[in-house]
Amino acid sequence: MEIIRIPRIMQDRAGGYRLHAKSIGFVPTMGALHEGHMSLVRTARAENDIVVASIFVNPLQFGPSEDFSLYPRDFEGDAQELRNAGVDILFSPDAPLMYPKGFATSIAVEGLSERLCGAYRPGHFRGVATVVTKLLNITNPHRAYFGQKDFQQTVIIRRVVKDLDMAVEIVVCPTVGEEDGLAMSSRNRYLSEAERKAAAVIYRSLSEASGAIQSGIIKSERLRDLMGGILRSEPLVSHVQYCSVYDPETLDEIDRADRECLLAVAVIIGKTRLIDNMRARPRR
Ligand code: AMP
């Protein structure tokens, strides 16, 4: 596995592969890799000639009071995992090469970026859309792989790709959970043992709501009450930022879950913000 730190070199390498008609699959990450990331890598490995993974903790997508400096980093361990998984290139640029002096352009996706997590993390999705656009321009992949766990991110990236006529296929892979259903996340490392146990309540609330939809309860108000009740019954959940029912394409909150919908949750446990979501539909 080659490790590349300089965007221009990565771009030239991708150009070379394209010249030789090799398909490129790209998996962007912020490192501290877990099975969720590795499932994206495995899918990319199966579907492409060349797999490029990136590790870049993007300062642009963290708010001033967020965990940028604390964010878990384990470059050597991550590199070994990616090597074992058959990744061809690990692209891990230094921040000054991504955002040199004078950097002034950003990608803002109106509307979609203000909902759900966007309401609690102003500027977050502008940072995400900007870095992903840059990473796609640098690695020039045929396909790029993202996790359903960050559902809003996938909707926003698809929008950017469509609106800016980018010739890349966005592939969304299922969320990988722990045994009790908790979605794997680099931030799970922040949780104490008790908080980690309590965090299972997120998956439980989504599963219960999904089950309720299947059994004919489709009024979103009732589903919100159901999810909120379960989440608030856990004393270590200090804040429920949102738990509701959304249109999976527009991310608008919907009144009735009478078609394919998205259940999504964001909570604070201890000092850690955790999110998850689930697609659901009523039984016909
Ligand atoms: P991150 O390193 O958190 O920026 O995540 C990098 C990619 O991995 C994103 O596309 C995430 O959606 C995806 N990802 C993170 N956690 C999971 C998970 N538990 N299951 C599947 N994909 C995930």
What does the pLDDT look like over 147-203, one tens digit per residue? 999 999 999 999 999 999 999 999 999 999 999 999 999 999 999 999 999 999 999
The torsion defined by the Cα of 127, 133, 134 and 140, in degrees rounded to 10, comes to: 160
Per-residue DSSP letter, 30: -
Q: Is 185 in the pocket of ligand 1 (CB under 6 A)?
A: yes
How many A from CA of 38 to the centre of ligand 1?
9
Residue at token pair 């926003």: 156
How many A from CA of 189 to the centre of ligand 1?
14
Partners of 123 in the β-ladder: none
Query: Which tokens sit at 69?
Result: 């400096």
Tell me which residue of 279, 259, 44, 32 sits closest to 168, measured CA to CA: 44
pLDDT tens sequence across 14-66: 999 999 999 999 999 999 999 999 999 999 999 999 999 999 999 999 999 99
Give, rounded to a whole angstrom, the gap between the first and last alpha carbons of the chain.
Answer: 49
Please identify every residue annotated as catalytic. Answer: 37
In angstroms, the CA 239 to CA 190 distance is 17
Burial class of residue 40, CB neighbours in 10 A (0-12, 13-18, 19+): buried
Q: Are 265 and 242 in contact (CB under 8 A)?
A: yes
Apex CA 39: angle with CA 78 and CA 41, to 5°? 60
pLDDT tens sequence across 104-134: 999 999 999 999 999 999 999 999 999 999 9
Q: For a pocket test of ligand 1, which of 29, 30, 33, 37 has the largest count of ligand atoms closer than 8 A to its C-beta?
A: 37
For the CA of 149, the closest atom of ligand 1 is 12
Q: Is 13 in the pocket of ligand 1 (CB under 6 A)?
A: no
Q: Is 89 in the pocket of ligand 1 (CB under 6 A)?
A: no
Sign for the pseudo-dihedral over CA of 247, 229, 273, 173: negative
In angstroms, the CA 228 to CA 46 distance is 40
pLDDT tens sequence across 202-256: 999 999 999 999 999 999 999 999 999 999 999 999 999 999 999 999 999 999 9
Q: What is the pLDDT of residue 224?
A: 98
Residue at token pair 């840059």: 134
How many A from CA of 284 to the centre of ligand 1?
32
In angstroms, the CA 139 to CA 141 distance is 6
Q: What is the pLDDT of residue 284?
A: 79
